Amino acid sequence: MRQNKLINKKLLLSSLIGAIVLGTLGCGSKTETVRVAIGTQDTTINCATGGLLIRELNLLPKYLPKDGKYKHVKYDIQWKNFTSGAPLTSEMVAGRLDLGAMADFPAVNNLAAFKKAGKESIFLAPLSGSINGSGNAIVVPIESKVTSLKELKGQTISVPFASTAHGLLLRAIQAEGWQLDKDIKVIAQAPEVAGPALKSHKIAAHADFVPFGELFAYQGFAKKIYDGSQAKSPTFHGSLASKDYAQQHPEVIKAYLQATIEANRLIREQPEKYSEFIAEKTGIPAEVVYLFHGPLGLQTRDLTWKPEYRKATQIAIDTLKVLGKNDGTLDVNKFIDDQYIKDAFQASGLNYSQQLADYAKSPLVANDALTGQPIKTFDRVTQIWVKGEEKVRSYETPENAFSDLKKIQADGKTVRVVYSQDHQSDIKLLANLAWYATDKAGQIQAFLLKDDAEKWAKQQGGKVYDFKAIQLVTQS
């Protein structure tokens, strides 16, 4: 009897141990949900490789970890689109988003907002930008006689407040020696409001970020009279994350940045295809997208922390302090955390240090569409995008391009857009809004600003022409 009781106790103990073991295993295999909530700015096309392309091409799931502590994880990937950085920041601070993409100025506002809430955000990596500042722009109505910023004294300029374009405008005003509300009036206006205001001449000028300076010009109701490159102050858009989230899920952050790297590679390899793709999703014309993202583009897609981009972030901190938007205690070195992008580079088989030292624009590898010879010099490259053709035609010189343009038109083909390279700053231009100057030998150079064209022509003993006139000169 005692033996039976002893056996029953052993059986009961074994059952209990088995239940505990099974329960433990059951808990270990229980599916956990990890949220990946990302805020994008689709129409701010500089953010495309950190948002729109990753989402629409479904790149993120390819890189999300599926082993180790993530073996039994289910990912809840959420996307939310915004037209500017401020509401995106509000969602991040509220804990409804884990990552986001925005420009340098809004990013610093993001840092300040997190700090105010007793939290921290980190700047993961740049996406696209310019060490010289191109991308931000000031435009005037197309009929305006204004051709330079200095002619706007006493007028009203609108700008999206707290944007990177706002920072550019404030620096440009300071460089002119003007005082706000005395020499110039600046009002807050989003691009969707500024467009109609320019058309109806309710404002003298509008300053804005990517891609609206070029978009309004392309749409034919405005012209660019000031490019950010004139300020010689770096600007960029980049990706941010909640610091708590990044520390909890560093593997997820790395996966997101690997997806960014792939999106960047795709648009570099097939700029026309993905310019059309972005246009389809955003309504921003492919011709404007290519202006930024195509070879020799207006801005450079660069995922490494160039010293100039660190400087841009510090400039944003300093400017916002002057505006009373932060208390001056923000630390750019704690905000920028380059370890995540370095890990993503390594995981993607790329050399971060090598890319960090590379300042080149997206390269143009093409034969001259008129001569058939490889293009070897790029300072006077001119490009023509013909309707119905998948690839943009490239030419080593404006002379070759305008000669071929005559034939294209004679064949009854429609030209979507012509691009030129600015001789002064080497930025990509919409050729129909550029100015052209010749030297004594008749060689042509393109310029954004009429003043620059006139100065160069005077030095070279040449003349200045608009787009229509220069075609007559080269085709005569």
- Is 290 found in the same domain as 219? no
The predicted model gives 206-222 an average pLDDT of 95
6 in a domain, yes or no?
A: no
CATH number at residue 335: 3.40.190.10
Q: Name the token pair of 5.
A: 């009781």
Q: How high is the pLDDT of residue 23?
A: 41
Least confident interval from 2-11, 174-183, 233-242: 2-11
Report the distance separating Cα 348 and Cα 255, nearest Å. 10
* pLDDT of 13: 45
The predicted model gives 122-140 an average pLDDT of 95
In this predicted structure, the answer to whether residue 5 has a pLDDT above a threshold of 60 is: no
Q: Provide the Cα torsion 406, 410, 414, 417; round to 10°.
A: 0
Assign 15 a pLDDT band (cuts: 50, 70, 90).
Answer: very low
Give yes or no: residues 337 and 281 share one domain.
Answer: yes
On whether the CB atoms of residues 105 and 316 are closer than 8 A, the answer is yes
Averaged pLDDT, 379-390 = 98
Asked if residues 277 and 56 have their Cβ atoms less than 8 Å apart, the reply is: yes
- Nearest by Cα to 454 from 464, 440, 466, 469: 464
- The domain boundary, picked from 200, 231, 262, lies at 231
Indicate if the pLDDT at residue 237 is higher than 80: yes
With vertex at residue 169, the alpha carbon angle to CA 167 and CA 170, rounded to the nearest 5 degrees, is: 65
DSSP state at residue 239? E
pLDDT at 275 over 80: yes
Q: Is the pLDDT of residue 12 over 60?
A: no
pLDDT digits (tens, 9 = 90+) for 137-170: 999 999 999 999 999 999 999 999 878 898 889 8
- Confidence class for position 328, pLDDT limits 50, 70, 90: low
Instruction: State mean pLDDT over 386-394.
Output: 98
In this structure, the answer to whether residues 65 and 52 fall within a common structural domain is yes
Q: Report pLDDT for 41.
A: 97
Residue 327 has pLDDT above 90, yes or no: no
- Asked if residue 242 and residue 99 are part of one domain, the reply reads yes
Residue 425: inside a domain, yes or no? yes
Residues 141 and 126 in one domain: no
Q: What is the pLDDT of residue 246?
A: 98
In a domain, residue 269? The reply is yes
Last-in-domain residue among 231, 246, 270: 231
* Average of per-residue pLDDT across 199-217: 95
Task: Looking at the structure, tell me whether residues 147 and 207 fall in a common domain.
Answer: yes
Coil, strand or helix: which one is 33? strand
Q: Are residues 210 and 242 in the same domain?
A: no
Please give the residue that has the higher pLDDT: either 452 or 7.
452
Average the pLDDT over 432-445 and give the result. Answer: 96
Would you state the pLDDT for residue 458?
97
**What phi and psi values does residue 385 have, to the nearest 5 degrees?**
-105, 110
| Residue at token pair 């001789």 | 423
Percent of the chain with pLDDT over 70: 92
Q: How many domains does the chain have?
A: 3
Same domain, 309 and 322: yes
Which of 206, 231, 256 is the last residue in one of the domains?
Answer: 231
**243 found inside a domain:** yes
pLDDT reading at 18 higher than 50: no
Closest by alpha carbon to 215, among 153, 135, 107, 320? 135
- 338 shares its domain with 422: no
Alpha-carbon distance of 186 to 158, in angstroms, equals 6
Query: Which string of DSSP letters, residue by residue, matches 107-151?
Result: HHHHHHHHHHTT--EEEEEEEEEESS-BTBEEEEETT----SGGG
* Between 67 and 232, residue with greater pLDDT: 67
Mean pLDDT of 347-361: 97
Q: Does 434 lie in the same domain as 349? A: no
Quote the tokens at residue 386: 């013909």
- Flag whether 8 is in a domain: no
User: Do the bridges between strand 137-141 and strand 393-395 make them parallel or antiparallel, or are there none, so unpaired?
Assistant: unpaired
Q: Are 416 and 290 contained in the same domain?
A: no
Share of the chain above pLDDT 90, in %: 84
Q: Residue 476: what pLDDT?
A: 66
- Co-location of 115 and 154 in the same domain: no
Residue 369 domain-assigned? Answer: no
Residue written as token pair 């938007």: 325
The reported pLDDT for the residue numbered 17 is 43
Cα–Cα distance between 257 and 271 in angstroms, integer? Answer: 20
User: What pLDDT does 232 receive?
Assistant: 85
Range of the domain at 89: 33-131+235-357
Domain assignment present for 4: no
Does residue 11 lie within any of the structural domains? Answer: no
How does residue 270 score in pLDDT terms, banded at 50, 70 and 90? very high
Q: Which residues contact 358 (CB under 8 A, 6 or more apart)?
A: none
Residue-level pLDDT at 21: 40
